[in-house]
A = this chain, B = another copy of it.
Amino acid sequence: MDLSYIPIAENTIPDRIQTLDIYHVHHSRMTAKQKRSLGPAPLLYPEPALLIATYDANGKPNAMTAAWAGICASDPVSLMVAIQPPRHTHDALLTRKGFTVCVPSEKQVAETDYFGMASGKKYDKFAACGFTAIKAEHVDAPYIAECPVILECSLSNHQRIGTHTVIIAEILDVKADEDCLDASGSFPDIEKVLPIIFDCGSKNYFGIGKKIGKGWSIGKSLMSKK
Question: Which A residues are closer than 8 A to B by beta carbons?
Answer: 2-4, 8, 13, 17, 20-48, 50, 60-61, 67-82, 101, 103, 106-118, 123-124, 126-135, 137, 142, 145-146, 148-151, 156-157, 159, 161-164, 166, 168, 170-179, 181-182, 185-190, 193, 195-223, 225-226
CB distance from A53 to the nearest CB of B (A): 11
Number of copies of this chain that the complex holds: 2
CB-nearest residue of chain B to A166:
B72
Given A24-B133, A74-B162, A216-B117, the answer on whether A146 and B31 have CB atoms closer than 8 Å is yes
Q: Which residues of B contact A37 (CB under 8 A)?
A: 137, 173-175
Q: Are B46 and A190 in contact (CB under 8 A)?
A: yes
Given A34-B177, A127-B24, A177-B33, the answer on whether A200 and B168 have CB atoms closer than 8 Å is no
Q: Are A108 and B30 in contact (CB under 8 A)?
A: yes
Q: A162 vs B73: C-alpha distance in the bound complex, in angstroms?
A: 7
Q: A146 vs B29: C-alpha distance in the bound complex, in angstroms?
A: 9
Q: A135 vs B47: C-alpha distance in the bound complex, in angstroms?
A: 26
Q: Are B203 and A216 in contact (CB under 8 A)?
A: yes
Q: A111 vs B215: C-alpha distance in the bound complex, in angstroms?
A: 11
Q: Are B174 and A40 in contact (CB under 8 A)?
A: yes
CB distance from A29 to the nearest CB of B (A): 6
CB-nearest residue of chain B to A186:
B38
Q: Are B205 and A208 in contact (CB under 8 A)?
A: no
Q: Which residues of B contact A107 (CB under 8 A)?
A: 30
CB distance from A153 to the nearest CB of B (A): 10
- Across the interface, A176 reaches (CB within 8 A) one of B35, B79, B80, B175, namely B35
CB distance from A166 to the nearest CB of B (A): 5
CB-nearest residue of chain B to A124:
B4
Q: Are A174 and B103 in contact (CB under 8 A)?
A: no
Q: Are A146 and B28 in contact (CB under 8 A)?
A: yes
Q: Are A190 and B174 in contact (CB under 8 A)?
A: no
CB-nearest residue of chain B to A82:
B72
Q: Which residues of B contact A200 (CB under 8 A)?
A: 71, 187
20 pairs, A vs B, C-beta closer than 8 Å: A8-B132, A22-B133, A22-B135, A30-B108, A35-B176, A36-B175, A36-B178, A68-B71, A70-B70, A70-B82, A71-B82, A72-B80, A75-B162, A110-B222, A114-B223, A115-B219, A188-B201, A205-B212, A207-B208, A207-B210
